[in-house]
Amino acid sequence: MRGWNFSAGPAAIPQEVIKEVQEELLEYNGSGASIIEIGHRTDIYSQVAEESKNDLIEILNIPNSHEVLFLQGGATHQFSMIPLNFRNMGNNADYVVSGTWSKKAADEASKLIDVNISASSENMSFSVFPKCSDWDISKHSSYVHYCPNETIQGIAMHEIPKIDKPLMADMTSVILSQPLDVSKFDLIYAGAQKNIGPAGLTIVIISKELMEKGDSSLPKILRYSEHSKANSMLNTPPTFSWYFAGKVFKWIKRSGGLDHFEALNKKKAENLYDFIDSTDFYVNNLQKSQRSLMNVTFNLKNDDLNSSFLDESKANSLLNLKGHALVGGMRASIYNAMPEEGVTQLIQFMSEFESKYG
Ligand SMILES: *Cc1c(COP(=O)(O)O)cnc(C)c1O
């Protein structure tokens, strides 16, 4: 039986989408073969790929000034692809370090480009998100990179920074959770396995103007503009994940689009944080305005109860609530695919657990 899956990633996918894929997995649409057995340059697959891209453009309202790429290598590959492409545009690059993922991005970039840490909350164990007005942006930097939703710490920046530089964002754990003004960014990237679909696919949304400025001496596979020219089929793309993501995009559309998910996601997060705040048994010390709506981290006041909490939640079909090893405690990831009912069940369990042990 499927449980309520709070995994941070690979994360829950809507059951109705998995069923749809299951139903057509043996033979796709009169092709006589499975979608995973068809050449990526066939008419039938090209149509799937294009529709998936167009649906994403529609959902996110991506302006014509931006290209959408379906790549591989995960968000982690973007940590190096970004500096490789754009290090020629300035003397260095600005990185805001607000949690584990943005720190990794900065560390990887520093092997390729001079990195200026514009702001960092590392010495406060990432318990606050550095305020945009305090970011120290270098005069001659190529770009500014930040991560608006730190998946591991559960801390987020909800406003879009106003920066007079190419702005790049790791949106792996927050993309498609709400409407987004894509025009404010020069590059957005996201590994698919949090809020888009199966692992293996990385979405990059990039300003076409910027893309053309990328270092032309790089091998093709590392250049955004080459991927764009080849319609994201420079080599064999992750065909199954691309197709699958298309199914999720259709599900988002028929569910009411990103306005619907924004309202739903706010409600789910609010319910859970309100409950956590209502008791001393569970703790989340982050400022309310900086709490992630996707990854709700919390601790049990009494750490000794952690393993009982995990065992008993699992026995109640509430899965994968263990926090990241770096921070400990608990984490409930509640991306689009988590229905309100799952959060209600979690709160009920937490309340009962407290009554039993509190
Ligand atoms: C999960 C995650 C990553 C890592 O993604 P991969 O696709 O595994 O490389 C990077 N950044 C953020 C914000 C994430 O949540």
pLDDT digits (tens, 9 = 90+) for 165-202: 999 999 999 999 999 999 999 999 999 999 999 999 99
Kindly give the distance from the C-alpha atom of residue 76 to the centroid of ligand 1, in angstroms, as a whole number. Answer: 6
> Which residue has a Cα nearest atom 3 of ligand 1?
75
pLDDT digits (tens, 9 = 90+) for 344-357: 999 999 999 999 99
> Would residue 101 show up in a list of annotated catalytic residues for this protein?
yes
Cα separation, 205 vs 218, in Å, equals: 20
Q: What does the pLDDT read at residue 118?
A: 98
Which residue type does 249 have?
F
pLDDT the model gives residue 48: 98
Q: What is the pLDDT of residue 326?
A: 93
Protein residue whose Cα sits closest to atom 7 of ligand 1: 74
Kindly give the distance from the C-alpha atom of residue 224 to the centroid of ligand 1, in angstroms, as a whole number: 19
52-87, pLDDT tens digit by residue? 999 999 999 999 999 999 999 999 999 999 999 999
15-255 CATH: 3.40.640.10
- The H-or-E segment that residue 188 falls in is strand 187-191
Across the range 152-173, mean pLDDT stands at 97
Residue extents of the structural domains in the chain:
15-255, 257-357
Q: Which of 55, 94, 170, 186 is catalytic?
A: 170
Mutate-to-test residue for ligand 1 from 173, 177, 189, 202, highest number of ligand atoms within 8 A of CB: 173
pTM of the model: 0.98
Active-site residue flag, 251: no
Structure tokens at 212: 């053309």
Ligand 1 pocket member 75 (CB < 6 A)? yes
Q: pLDDT value at position 177?
A: 98
Of 3.40.50.10800, 3.90.1150.10, 3.40.50.10420, 1.10.3860.10, the CATH number of 257-357 is 3.90.1150.10
Query: What tens digit of pLDDT does each residue of 237-296 get?
Result: 999 999 999 999 999 999 999 999 999 999 999 999 999 999 999 999 999 999 999 999
pLDDT digits (tens, 9 = 90+) for 82-123: 999 999 999 999 999 999 999 999 999 999 999 999 999 999
pLDDT at 86: 97
| Span 29-54, average pLDDT | 97
Please enumerate, as own/partner, the contacts of 32-36 that have beta carbons within 8 Å and a separation of 24 or more: 35/239, 35/240, 35/243, 36/239, 36/240
Q: What is the predicted pLDDT for the residue at 122?
A: 98
Atom of ligand 1 lying closest to residue 173 CA: 15
Nearest Cα to Cα of residue 12 among 286, 251, 271, 306: 251
For ligand 1, whether the C-beta of 5 sits within 6 Å is no
Say how far apart CA 256 and CA 73 lie, in whole Å.
31
For residue 259, indicate whether it is catalytic.
no
Kind and range of the H or E run holding 74: helix 74-86
